């Protein structure tokens, strides 16, 4: 069984557009799949709705989009989009994401694991 986890973010005190902002997170198992292919399809579909992935890929060709989707959602060698992801196959590396967000002036003050 392949588990897909989701990070839900909640800004604190209405500061979602501020430069130095705080967030609270809820990390939970979103779905479980029999195959990796099903899990990957789900992550891409959900990421198109709940992340900035569609905006980043707007002007790409159909073939380029498929390559970009895989890079955005699954590339663990290149962390360019790690802080933008909200769906993960298996439990995400919360500590690494938090460290990267600090460089973007975002502090995660509370993480609820479910």
Q: Residue 110's pLDDT is what?
A: 63
pLDDT score of 34:
97
pTM to 2 decimals?
A: 0.83
- For the purposes of burial, counting CB atoms within 10 Å of the CB of 76, is it exposed (0-12), middle (13-18) or buried (19 or more)? exposed
- The confidence score (pLDDT) of residue 32 equals 97
Lookup: tokens for 74:
């699954």
Question: What is the structure's pLDDT at 35?
Answer: 96
pLDDT at 65: 94
10 Å Cβ neighbour count for 35? 10
> Which residues, 6+ apart, have CB-to-CB distance to 9 below 8 Å?
23, 24, 25, 86
Task: Report whether 83 contacts 101 (CB < 8 A).
Answer: yes
Distance in angstroms (rounded) separating the CA atoms of residues 20 and 75: 27
Which residue ranges in the chain fall short of pLDDT 50? none
pLDDT of residue 107: 63
Residue 78: predicted pLDDT? 81
| Spatial separation of the C-alpha atoms in residues 86 and 6, rounded to whole Å | 5
């Amino acid at each position: 069984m392949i588990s897909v986890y989701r990070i839900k973010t909640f800004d604190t005190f209405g500061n979602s557009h501020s430069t130095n902002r705080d967030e609270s997170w809820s990390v939970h198992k979103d779905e479980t799949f029999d195959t990796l292919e099903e899990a990957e399809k789900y992550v891409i579909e959900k990421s198109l709705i709940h992340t900035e992935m569609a905006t980043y890929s707007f002007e790409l060709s159909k073939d380029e989009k498929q390559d970009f989707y895989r890079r955005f959602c699954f590339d663990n060698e290149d962390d360019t989009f790690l802080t933008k992801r909200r769906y993960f196959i298996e439990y995400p590396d919360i500590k690494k994401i938090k460290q990267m967000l600090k460089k973007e002036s975002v502090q995660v003050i509370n993480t609820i694991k479910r």
